[in-house]
Amino acid sequence: MKKPFAITLDVGSSLANKTGSWRTERPMYVDRLPPCNASCPSGENIQRWLFLAEEGDYEGAWREIMVNNPLPAIMGRVCYHPCEGGCNRAQLDHPVGIHAVERFLGDEAIRRGWRVEVGSPPTGKRVLIVGAGPSGLSCAYHLARMGHGVTILEAGPMAGGMMRFAIPKYRLPREIVDAEIQRIVEMGVEIRLNQKVTDLEATRREGGYDAVFLAVGAHIAKRAYLPAGDATKILDALSLLREAERGEQVLLGRRVLIYGGGNTALDAARSAKRLGAAETIVVYRRTRERMPAHDEEVREALDEGVMFRWLTTIKGEQGGSFQVEKMALDGEGRPQPTGEFDTIEADALVLALGQDVDLSFLGSVPGLAVEDGVVRVGRDMMTGCRGVFAGGDMVPAERTVTVAVGHGKKAARNIDAFLSDTTYTAPEKHELATFDRINTWYYADAPRTMQVTLERARRESTFEEVVQGLEESNALFEARRCLSCGNCFECDNCFGVCPDNAISKLGRHNRYGINYDYCKGCGLCAAECPCGAIRMEPEST
């Protein structure tokens, strides 16, 4: 068409006008550290695997978990999920039920027989791991993926450590433990059972191992001196749990006292209930608030009828009657005796006062240092002895399966570096994705009906294992509750709200690009990003 001069123009020709020159600030896509990830002792990229699960890509999500944690089905059951404690969604309604989704994914993997391939060619290096608990298994798994040869020597008759002998079945079915361990074995990890290491140096030398990871746990029950007669049964919690695990008949009587305030005390109390005790009373010297056991466990124990005697110490026993003293908290919250005494009738007392590490086999290891009954390790998890690393309950840390798994991963990375004469440097952590960076407008409340279902599922998932975990629809729902804090979840908001069409979609999972030729730096994309994944930065020139 012969167009009139100037008054008629070609469509879209304003592309010649590069409005990017107006900009004083430029938007930048960032990945911030979601609080769930930040608080996961195993270092899982929770946001990322939830992102995949949201799409129904359960295998992808599971594989994302497996990058950091080889035991999702176990972890989904027994982890005390500090991730959920950090979850920003808690400030909207309830935290995302991360553990429940993880359990669903872990179970799905077992059901479908998903496997992990060894990702690297064999290095020819051999690593000895002592102890087939969560820490040892985790370390073995990661080392195997890196191509190293791994041998685990386990003193006990079965692999799993505390996962098998301390955590009751109602929390963790044994076929789950078996399945997840089997998957590691199938990667080429050798587990030798009933192989108690008595002299580490000798074993290491004889096996020709290039490095060692110690993960024997802490399974020697602490005892307290209690003057007592013979009529009453006194046993430690680990023994109780171990006997229950072996299916042995444990005769506790009608009324059982549990002495202690940790998770093991509660496991023992709840197990005692299941073993037939009509009344189970947890005796603890401080208050509920100061109890080291996780609140959830306390709540569930209460639900099951476990009773508690707070601010109480046991002084001794005579003729089936326990003398107890009332305690009071001092200004610093420490329990102090009050001189007020009382008695409690009981048929048995279970001591749950903590566990010590069996250090007997470490006598000849040069340089290895022990402090407060645990092995000292550096930030690289290496003990004072070169090439000997340690983790799990035998090093100073919170004693949970999750921490142990995290230790295993961390140790594996450092061992890998050690084997190649380098140093492992953890990648720098992103800035934390705090709640104030979330644009909550964009997140919907979950419909009530679904929430009710979910609540039940949540309860069930952490209660009796006879009840199923999340159904797929629930798991999907739960995953989709994730706010994706600090990490783009491809909502298209930036793409949509840019008045200058300066943002382009790069395709599924490739996020977005910014065309700085046209971006005027208004900041709408950053302001309207639901999850805080865009940062405005001053232009340098």
Find the shortest distance in angstroms from Cβ 26 to another protein: 12
- 429 sits near another protein (criterion: CB under 8 A): no
Residues 1-60 that bind another protein (CB under 8 A): 1-19, 22, 54-55
**Of 124, 396, 496, 513, which lies in the binding site for another protein, with binding defined by CB under 8 A?**
496
CA distances from 187 to 122, 157, 180, 414 (A): 12, 21, 11, 20
Find the shortest distance in angstroms from Cβ 79 to another protein: 24
- Window contacting another protein (CB under 8 A); options: 260-268, 273-281, 411-419, 482-490: 482-490
Q: Toward another protein, which CB reaches closer, 177 or 525?
A: 525
Rounded Cα gap, residues 344 and 279, in angstroms: 12
Q: Taking the CA of residue 200 as centre, how many other CA atoms within 13 Å lie in the half-sphere pointing to its CB?
A: 28
Residues 504-533 that bind another protein (CB under 8 A): 504-505, 508, 515, 517-518, 520-524, 526-528, 530
- 539 sits near another protein (criterion: CB under 8 A): no
Rounded Cα gap, residues 19 and 329, in angstroms: 67
Residues 206-225 that bind another protein (CB under 8 A): none
CA angle 485, 489, 494 (to 5 degrees): 100
* Mask for 442-481, x = binds another protein (CB under 8 A): xxxxxx--x--------------------------x--xx
Find the shortest distance in angstroms from Cβ 508 to another protein: 7
- Exposure letters 287-321 (e unless 16+ CB within 10 A, then b): eeeebebbeebbebbeebebebbbbbbbeebeeee
Find the shortest distance in angstroms from Cβ 82 to another protein: 22
Contacts of 199 (CB under 8 A, 6+ apart): 361, 363, 364
Q: Toward another protein, which CB reaches closer, 221 or 457?
A: 457
Q: Toward another protein, which CB reaches closer, 444 or 466?
A: 444
* Total residues binding another protein (CB under 8 A): 64
Burial of 447 (0-12, 13-18, 19+ CB in 10 A): exposed
- 104 sits near another protein (criterion: CB under 8 A): no
Q: Toward another protein, which CB reaches closer, 13 or 425?
A: 13
- In terms of DSSP bridges, do strands 126-130 and 149-153 run parallel, antiparallel, or are they unpaired? parallel
Find the shortest distance in angstroms from Cβ 99 to another protein: 19
Q: Toward another protein, which CB reaches closer, 92 or 185?
A: 92
Q: Toward another protein, which CB reaches closer, 390 or 522?
A: 522
Find the shortest distance in angstroms from Cβ 535 to another protein: 12
- Asked whether the beta carbons of 48 and 64 are under 8 A apart, the reply is yes
CA distances from 214 to 59, 385, 415, 482, 496 (A): 32, 12, 12, 37, 54
Secondary structure (DSSP) of 327-346: EEE-TTS-EEEEEEEEEEE-
* Residues paired with 280 in a beta bridge: 256
Which residues of this protein are in contact with another protein, per CB under 8 A?
Answer: 1-19, 22, 54-55, 441-447, 450, 477, 480-484, 489-493, 495-497, 499-502, 504-505, 508, 515, 517-518, 520-524, 526-528, 530, 536
